[in-house]
Amino acid sequence: MATPFWGSGGFMLEIKNLHATVNGKEILKGIDLTINDGEIHAVMGTNGAGKSTLSNVIVGNPAYEVTEGSITFNGKDLLAMKPEERAHEGIFMSFQTPIEIPGVSMTNFMRAAVNARRQAKGEEPLKSTDFLKIMREKRKLVEIDQKLMNRSVNEGFSGGEKKRNEIFQMAMLEPTFCILDETDSGLDVDALRIVAEGFNKLRTSETSAMVITHYQRLLDYIKPDIVHVLIDGKIVKTGGPDLALKIENEGFDWIKAELASI
Amino acid sequence: MSEQNQFVREVAEKKYEFGFTTDVQTEIIDKGLNEDVIRTISAKKGEPEWLLEFRLEAYRYWLTQEQPTWGHLTLPEIDYQAISYYADPTKKSADGEKKELDPELVKTFDKLGIPLEERLALSGMAVDAVMDSVSVKTTFKEKLAEKNIIFCSISEAVKEYPDLVRQYLGSVVPYRDNYFAALNSAVFSDGSFVYIPQGTRCPMELSTYFRINARNTGQFERTLIICDEGSYVSYLEGCTAPMRDENQLHAAIVEIVVMDNAEVKYSTVQNWYPGDENGKGGVLNLVTKRGHLRGVNSKLSWTQVETGSAITWKYPSCILQGDNSQAEFYSVAVTNNHQVADTGTKMIHIGKNTRSTIISKGISAGKSQNSYRGLVKVGTKADGARNYSSCDSLLLGSECGAHTFPYMDIHNNTATVEHEATTSKINEDQLFYCNQRGISTEEAVGLIVNGYAKDVINKLPMEFAVEAQKLLSVSLEGTVG
Amino acid sequence: MKSEQQYIELYGEVSNLIKQKSCDIMNNVRDAAFASFEKVGFPSKKVERYKYTDVDAYFAPNYGVSLNTLEVKPSKYIFRLAESPIDLSAYYNTIADNNDGITALNTAIAHDALVIYVPRNTRAEDPIQVDNWLRGNTSTMVNRRVLVILEQGAEATIIMNDHAEDKQRFLTTQVMEIFCKDNSHLDIYEIEETTPLCSRFSNVYINVERDCTVKHNSITLYNGQTRNLCDVVLKGENSEVTLNGCAIAGGSQRIDNNTLIDHRVPNCTSNELYKYVVDDKSVGAFAGKILVEKDAQKTVSHETNSNLCASADARMFTQPMLEIYADDVKCAHGSTVGVMDETALFYMRQRGVPEEEARMLLKNAFMGQVIDQIQLQPLRDKLFVKVEKRFRGELEKCDDCRLCK
């Protein structure tokens, strides 16, 4: 069988006519988006355009309600799945604001997550020693301090540490599709570089990602294949990496002007 | 030590500046309480039969009840037969209609800072002035009537708007609610009636001023406020009484009904005579105040500054029935000498996504006892209900007490209820800092206490806020030596 | 017939037998206690401190009263009151409040008492463990009486485990009097792990003298109906008392904790932390009062009660109280009833942790705050495991649990 022009894996994520509301207010007003194996898509847009809603809907945050449309992932209906089932399928979101969970240690948290995923795949839970060994390896890979592992999840972590912890968890869970939801917010350049390099290290040729950002900055490190512009709940423009550069220099007004002229 | 005592006495004697009496011809009925007395009151007020029945039913119920005793509240023995239940300081002509206002009455209210002449009025405030059992005068009635707002005494409302009164009277506080509610329902005299029609924002603050003057009388205020759909009103209440050696009884009921999208703000500055420095005399302030947030998105806020009364027994409450309704309770209670304040609120969450906030500041000095007593109840259907309560107490002196008794009954797993309370003495570093800047301890205490109470004072309308600030400082003079 | 009557009749029938089996020190106060019980009866819900528990209902069924002699393995610090080598009449029944009907009943019919006595300047190296096993082949009432005395400079850790076996109903009353003399240090744990057929009424009275540290921990892992009262009186300066509690209720269980810390003297500190998780149709109640008397200047007191309602039918009543008559104090209390943190729940699910598991982790973390404060490490480790098992529904051995359904 001939390899299709988009690669070998087919459509990894396919979003069709997606509408979603938060507290009864419509935020997404018909999104169509296809992400193939190994592709990096950047989604840019002004505040309140619906970028975070889009990522939260993909991972199934119960605070968001899908009113119309579909999302399939490797051919499976994602909307019918619970958040944890979506995670087991290989979807990972790096949170814009990682959540603090007092009293739950990082080790216990990760053990529960890794073993739940193994169980979903029909694998035995990891032995403690094996699990701790993997923890240690991944920790070194993303250069995260051991002392953070003994604390409760994200509790007392600095902004940079929290973001790095997200990348660490990504390393532990080995997802095939990653959403980086404004991973760059609140990070200085060095921290940004470390997080981006961590992501690039973990990435395989099959890993695809959706990178949500305001700025070109992050895209200097994580090079997108395709750039989308989201305004008022719709994708209004799609282009190559140069689109991100143009937005960095000129902002969004020219796109709005283009839209208005149609 | 004795020097300080003397100072305290001096302050106690000088500080209650509203302790004068008014020499006015007052018609007082004989002391005692029985069905005939109730018939007399009802007849004097020219009431319809249904209201007399209402009173008699309440009276019969009251007879079966006992005075409540709980916690810290030890009420003195009240001889209900030694009180006169009706005192009318207004002159009547032969046919019983009210004549011109007695100039003495006008002078009294002037002295209290409540001008009864509209041209002298504080800007944007209409007043209903009640002395003893009778409403003396209500200002700006006509102006308010232009917007179909009804603001008058409840006696007048019974005559002019009987259907409205009959529909709502006792609908929020039934006479069976408690001992004093039953007593009030039997013998209530005067108070205010407010009706804000649909979609109306009341253009001025409505205010009732209560004055007890006559000796050995009880005052049984009855106020009813109805705020119809989409309307707004801010209502203020002030109270004073002369200095008398015997206790005077003020047993009130205030009922508020708030419909869909309506908002009521109710503010009280209570400065009844607190009794002398030995605890002799003073008003027994036994009050049932309750708001029923019937409508969706309705709002009610109670703000109170309690500085007077020998005993205060008062829990302005909210029944949050309408979905998304919001209730607030802001309270500052200051007690000095032998005063006892037992005050707080009840927030009963019934509707979905209802919210309530409680901020209470107690300040105790002298030999007084100051308690916050409150209940937050979340019913089984009140999904998403939230309450936040914060109750702080400040102790000035080693002979007083400050207590916090919150009750929380949570019957819904989606509710979030938070309560926090602290008790401490006045911060000595702050005092010293003030001293170092040349501010006397006395004055510094006033400043610090006002700062402490600021969250609540800020909720009062401007004119009242200034008054309340002065009152706080005055009430606490002589407490720190 | 009110339920008191059967106990009044019982006393008439068996008081002689009880007296024969008992000892002078207990018999001396027995009739007076009974008279007090006759007078006050069981507290009704109108009594403020009993407003959340219908005592009468639990005492109404007909129980056989256990008059078995205590089995006490000979030990350095534990003995039966009847076999006491020293005169303890200055302690027995001196701080228990016989105006409380349950205490009075216990004083009247308890025929034996357990004594834990740590002599002057003695440190009990190993924790003193007392295991109470409720077993029998008929509904049984057990009246347990305990006396704990730490002499000057003594130090001890005491663990009291309550277990129940068999498919029988048990009604337990417990009255424990604890005396901490100057400079003594006590760390005491009461751990209940019984069955839904058990009712427990425990009244603990603690007297604390100068320079002491006292920690009382009440842990209810599994039960039927539990009512724990704990009254502490601080009588000597520079002492510190901590009352901690952990209550986990599911099914139709009830847990009612009622505490009073009475600061009578200056310069003492009290801390209190009680946490509840109420699930299914269970009911939790907490009432804790901090009383600071007039002379108790420089008191520092902090009380926290946090509760998690995990199901729509669960109920929580809480009542943190401050009653303060001294001015130079720092007292605070806080109480919360809340829901599980939805954002944390979602975060965990995004990482692939199933919802049930995530809830369990959060409940565990919530209780962890109390367990963390346990100083005795082996016990702390054990309780972490037990609490987790409890939340997984693996602790119950009865037909009311998820595991057996």
Q: Which pLDDT belongs to residue B119?
A: 57
8 Å CB contact of B415 and C318: no
Burial label, A171 (beta-carbon count in 10 A; 0-12, 13-18, 19+): buried
Size of interface B-C (CB pairs under 8 A): 112
8 Å CB contact of A109 and C341: no
As a dihedral over the C-alpha atoms of residue A174, residue A176, residue A177, residue A179, rounded to 10 degrees, the angle is 20
Q: Which pLDDT belongs to residue C396?
A: 60
B13 touching C (Cβ < 8 Å): no
pLDDT digits (tens, 9 = 90+) for C141-158: 999 999 999 999 999 999
Question: Between these two residues, B99 and C78, which has the higher pLDDT value?
Answer: C78
B363 touching C (Cβ < 8 Å): no
8 Å CB contact of B422 and C319: no
| Residue C295 CA: distances (Å) to CA of A243, C209, C232, C269, C329 | 76, 15, 17, 14, 11
A4 part of a folded domain? no
| pLDDT band of B205, cuts 50, 70, 90 | confident
Chains A and B: 3 or more CB pairs within 8 Å of each other = no
As a dihedral over the C-alpha atoms of residue B299, residue B304, residue B309, residue B314, rounded to 10 degrees, the angle is 30
C203 touching B (Cβ < 8 Å): no
Out of C312, C317, C325, closest to residue B408 by CB = C317
The shortest C-alpha distance from B66 to chain C (Å) reads 15
Out of C310, C315, C321, closest to residue B410 by CB = C315
- Among A171-175, B292-296, C392-396, the least confident range: C392-396
The shortest C-alpha distance from A162 to chain C (Å) reads 13
pLDDT at C350 over 90: yes
Interface-testing mutation among B368, B396, B408, with chain C (most C C-beta atoms within 10 A): B408
ipTM: 0.83
Contacts of B396 in chain C (CB under 8 A): 327
Residues 240-299 of C with CB under 8 A from B: 294, 297
- Among A163-172, B137-146, C319-328, C351-360, the least confident range: B137-146
8 Å CB contact of B380 and C312: yes
Contacts of A174 in chain C (CB under 8 A): none
Percent pLDDT > 90 in chain A is 48
Out of C309, C323, C329, closest to residue B403 by CB = C323
- Among B37-51, B86-100, B272-286, the least confident range: B86-100
Residues 6+ apart with CB under 8 A from C353: A84, A109, A112, A113, A116, C361
Contacts of A166 in chain C (CB under 8 A): none
Q: Give the DSSP H/E element, type plus range, for residue B211.
A: strand B205-211
The shortest C-alpha distance from B413 to chain C (Å) reads 5
B481 touching C (Cβ < 8 Å): no
Interface-testing mutation among C322, C328, C330, with chain B (most B C-beta atoms within 10 A): C322
pLDDT digits (tens, 9 = 90+) for B50-96: 999 999 999 999 999 888 776 566 777 788 888 888 877 776 554 54
| Residue B368 CA: distances (Å) to CA of B95, B281, B424, C265, C325 | 49, 15, 16, 21, 10
Q: Which pLDDT belongs to residue B375?
A: 93
pLDDT at B99 over 50: yes
User: For residue B6, which phi and psi values (nearest 5 degrees)?
Assistant: -65, -40
Q: Which pLDDT belongs to residue B352?
A: 95
Size of interface A-C (CB pairs under 8 A): 86
Q: Which pLDDT belongs to residue A78?
A: 93
Task: Annotate A167-202 with DSSP letters as a single string.
Answer: HHHHHHH--SEEEEESTTTT--HHHHHHHHHHHHHH
Chains A and C: 3 or more CB pairs within 8 Å of each other = yes
C45 touching B (Cβ < 8 Å): no
B395 touching C (Cβ < 8 Å): yes
Place of tokens 């008492």: C113
| pLDDT band of C405, cuts 50, 70, 90 | very low
C36: left (phi over 0), alpha (psi -120 to 50) or beta: alpha
Question: Between these two residues, C230 and B218, which has the higher pLDDT value?
Answer: C230
Q: Give the DSSP H/E element, type plus range, for residue B111.
A: helix B103-111
8 Å CB contact of C347 and A99: yes
pLDDT at C46 over 70: yes
8 Å CB contact of C365 and A93: no
Out of B397, B415, B424, closest to residue C329 by CB = B424
The shortest C-alpha distance from C348 to chain A (Å) reads 8
Task: Annotate C173-186 with DSSP letters as a single string.
Answer: EEEEEEEE-TT-EE
The shortest C-alpha distance from C23 to chain B (Å) reads 40
C345 touching B (Cβ < 8 Å): no
Contacts of A113 in chain C (CB under 8 A): 348, 351-353
| pLDDT band of C129, cuts 50, 70, 90 | very high
pLDDT digits (tens, 9 = 90+) for B440-477: 777 778 778 888 888 888 888 777 777 777 777 777 76
B64 touching C (Cβ < 8 Å): no
Q: What is the CATH number of the domain that holds A36?
A: 3.40.50.300
Percent pLDDT > 70 in chain C is 97
pLDDT at C249 over 50: yes
8 Å CB contact of A120 and C352: yes
Considering chain A, what is the average pLDDT of its residues?
88
pLDDT at A226 over 50: yes
CA C1 to chain centre: 30
Q: Which residue of C has its CA nearest to B414?
A: C339
Can you give the residue range of the structural domain that contains A141?
11-261
C338 touching B (Cβ < 8 Å): yes
8 Å CB contact of C346 and A83: yes
Q: Which pLDDT belongs to residue A193?
A: 84
Q: Which pLDDT belongs to residue B30?
A: 80
Out of A62, A104, A113, closest to residue C352 by CB = A113
pLDDT digits (tens, 9 = 90+) for A142-185: 888 888 888 889 998 988 888 889 999 999 999 999 999 887 77
Interface-testing mutation among A81, A84, A152, with chain C (most C C-beta atoms within 10 A): A84
Contacts of C306 in chain A (CB under 8 A): none
B32: left (phi over 0), alpha (psi -120 to 50) or beta: left
Out of A62, A99, A116, closest to residue C353 by CB = A116
pLDDT at C1 over 50: no
The shortest C-alpha distance from A103 to chain C (Å) reads 4
Angle, helices B35-44/B179-187, rounded to nearest 10 degrees: 50
Which structure tokens are listed for B225?
């406020």
Name subunits touching C (3+ CB pairs < 8 A).
A, B
The shortest C-alpha distance from B56 to chain C (Å) reads 30
Burial label, C131 (beta-carbon count in 10 A; 0-12, 13-18, 19+): exposed
Please count the structural domains in chain A.
1
pLDDT at C278 over 80: yes
To the question of pTM greater than 0.90 for the whole model, the response is no
Q: Which pLDDT belongs to residue B242?
A: 67
Out of B399, B402, B413, closest to residue C309 by CB = B413
Contacts of B384 in chain C (CB under 8 A): none
Contacts of C339 in chain A (CB under 8 A): none
A2 part of a folded domain? no
Distance CA B254, CA C40 (A): 40
A70 part of a folded domain? yes
- Among B33-42, C151-160, C256-265, C285-294, the least confident range: B33-42
Taking residues B391-405, what's their average pLDDT? 89
pLDDT digits (tens, 9 = 90+) for A91-149: 999 988 888 888 888 988 998 899 999 999 999 999 989 999 999 999 888 888 888 88
Task: Annotate B58-95 with DSSP letters as a single string.
Answer: HHHHHHT-----BTTB-PPP--TTSSBS-EE-S-B-TT
8 Å CB contact of C327 and B410: no
Q: Which pLDDT belongs to residue B479?
A: 63
Considering chain C, what is the average pLDDT of its residues?
91
| Residue B373 CA: distances (Å) to CA of B177, B186, B314, C338 | 17, 27, 9, 22
Name subunits touching A (3+ CB pairs < 8 A).
C
pLDDT at C364 over 60: yes
8 Å CB contact of C366 and A62: no
pLDDT digits (tens, 9 = 90+) for B138-152: 778 888 888 899 998
Task: Give whichever of A207-211, A246-250, B75-79 has the largest mean pLDDT.
Answer: A207-211
